[in-house]
Chain A
Amino acid sequence: MDYNFHWRPVFKSLPDLLESAILTLEVAILSMILGIIFGLALSLIRIHVKGPLKWFAISWIELARNTPALLQLFFFGFGLGAFGIHFSPFLIVLMGLTFNNSGYLAENFRGGFNSIPDTQIRASLSLGMNHFQTYTRIIIPQVLRVVYHPMTNQMVWAVLMSSLGMLVGFRELSGETQFFASKTYRIFEYFAATAVIYYVIVKIILGAARLMASRLFKY
C-alpha cells in the first residue's frame, strides 16, 4: 500500500464543492415541493377517479416505484433527447426526481388518506363545510402527520438520488466532485470529502425535520 493521501487539492476546491452542494439541495427541495403536489394529486386521483386518468396515475406510481431511478433520469435526458426534446441537465434531474418522488409520496399519501376514519369527513360535512374545506382543514392536516416521516425519508432520498445527476452532465455535488477528481487524480480524497458533505446535509435535514415536527404536531 504505497498510496499517498493528498488532501490539499480537496481543501482548495472546497468552496466550489460547497457551492455545488447548494445546487444539490436546490434540486432536491424543488423536486420535493413538486413531488408533494403531484403525489397528492396522484393519490387523490387513484382514490377518487375512475377511467383513463386513474390508469395514468397508477402507471406513474408503478413505474416510479419499480424501476431504477437512474433509468427514470435517463428517460428525461436521453430518452426524450432521442425524440429531439432537449432539456438542461438541471431540468432533467428535476424532472427525474420529481417523477420518482411523486410516485413514492403518492402511495404514502394514499395510506395516509385511508387511515383517516370516514367519520371525520361526515362530522366536517355536517357542520356545513364543503368538500374542499373538509380536505384542506380536516383531512390533509391529519394526513400530513401520518406521512411526515416517510416524507422526510423521501427528502433524504432525493438528496442522495440527485447524485445520479452527474451521469446526465449535471454539475451538482457529485458531478463537481467527479470533475475535480478526474482533473487531479485525487479520486479517493474527493469522493471521501463529498461523502462527508452528503452525510452532514442529511443530518441537517433530519435535525430540521425533527424540530419542525415538534412545532407542527402538538397533539
Chain B
Amino acid sequence: MISISNLYKSYGSLEVLKGIDLNIPKGEVLSVIGSSGSGKSTLLYCINGLEPIQKGQIIVDDIDVHAKETNLNSVRQNMGMVFQQWNSFPHLTVLENVALAPKIVSKLSKSDALEVAEKQLLHVGLGDKLSQYPSALSGGQQQRLAIARALAMEPKCMLFDEATSALDPELVGEVLDTIRLLADEGMTMICVTHEMGFAREVSDRVAFFHEGKIEEINQAEKLFGSPKSKYLQKFLSKVKT
C-alpha cells in the first residue's frame, strides 16, 4: 500500500531524513516513535506530498507520489492526514469544515456532503456541535473535528501526526476507539505518537526513529518487550519515567 525506498529529505542544508526504507502493507497500523526533531512529522509530510524530497521514492497505492506527472490532489484524496497542530478552518462551522472537501473535491451533492459530514462527526462524538464555530471547541474537540474532516474523504489510508497529544485524558480513549475501529475496517494507518501505551496497543508494528533513520522496527510487543538498539532502550527508559 505504502512503500518507501531510500528516502532522503533536507530543509536547506539540514538533512532530516537520511535513507528511509519502509513497506506498509494494506491494513497495517504502523506507529512511529522517536525523540523530538527526529523527522517523524517530516516523513508524513513527504508521504502526503506536502514537502518535496531530494532522493528516493514513495509509492502509495501504485502511484509514485513525487513523480512529475502525478496529480497530488488525487493522491491526497486517498490519504487522510491529521496534524500535530489543530487546524480547523475558523471561518466555517463544524459541519461545513467536514462537508467542504466532499463537496468541492469529491463533487458530492450538497445534501450528500452534509450527510457524510454529519455521519463522521457523530462518529467522533461531535454530533452536538454541528453548527458551532471551531473557536467554541476545546483543543480535543478540534482534533476530533480534524479526524472527522479527514475521514469524510473516505481515504484508503490515514496519517496521524500525534493526533492524541493535544487531547484531554478522558478523550484519548474515545479517539483510540475510533482509530481501532478504523483498523478493524482495514484502514492502513501510520500514527506518529509520543504515547507508548497507544503504540503498543493499537499498532501491528512500531518504527523507532533516530536522527532521520529508522533505528529499529518490529512488532509492537517485540519492540517494546526486547528493544535491541541502545538508543531505543534509552528512549524507552526516558519516556517511561
Contacts and interface: CB of A to CB of B under 8 A. Distances in A.
A126 B90 contact: no
A141 B105 contact: no
B2 to A, nearest CB: 15
B235 interface: no
Contacts of A145: 91
B135 interface: yes
A218 interface: yes
A142 B48 contact: no
Contact of A127 (B45, B85, B90, B153): B153
B231 interface: no
B76 A125 contact: yes
B76 A126 contact: yes
A219 interface: yes
Contacts of B111: none
A156 interface: no
Contacts of A69: none
B104 interface: yes
Contacts of A128: 73-74, 76-77, 101, 105-106, 153
B89 interface: yes
Contacts of B83: 119, 122-123, 126
B146 A123 contact: yes
Nearest to B103: A137
A117 interface: yes
Contacts of A33: none
B233 to A, nearest CB: 34
A110 B106 CA distance: 31
A130 interface: yes
Interface footprint category on B: 20 to 34
Contact of B91 (A122, A127, A141): A141
B87 A117 contact: yes
A127 B87 contact: no
Given A119-B83, A119-B87, A130 B100 contact: no
Contacts, number: 68
A138 B133 CA distance: 14
Given A122-B50, A218-B133, A129 B87 contact: no
A82 B35 CA distance: 69
A129 B73 CA distance: 6
A134 to B, nearest CB: 10
B149 interface: yes
A190 B50 CA distance: 63
A127 B101 contact: yes
B81 interface: yes
A88 interface: no
A130 B133 contact: no
A117 B86 CA distance: 11
Nearest to A144: B91
Contacts of A133: 104-105
Contacts of B106: 128
Interface string B1-45: 000000000000000000000000000000000000000000001
B87 A120 contact: yes
B150 interface: yes
Interface of B: 45, 48, 50, 72-74, 76-77, 79-81, 83, 85, 87, 89-91, 100-101, 104-106, 133-135, 146, 149-150, 153
Q: 5 closest A-B pairs (Cβ-Cβ)?
A: A128-B77, A127-B101, A219-B133, A126-B81, A123-B87
26 contacts: A117-B85, A117-B87, A120-B87, A122-B87, A123-B81, A123-B83, A123-B89, A123-B146, A126-B76, A126-B80, A126-B150, A127-B101, A127-B150, A128-B73, A129-B100, A129-B101, A130-B73, A133-B104, A137-B100, A137-B104, A138-B89, A142-B89, A145-B91, A217-B91, A219-B90, A219-B133
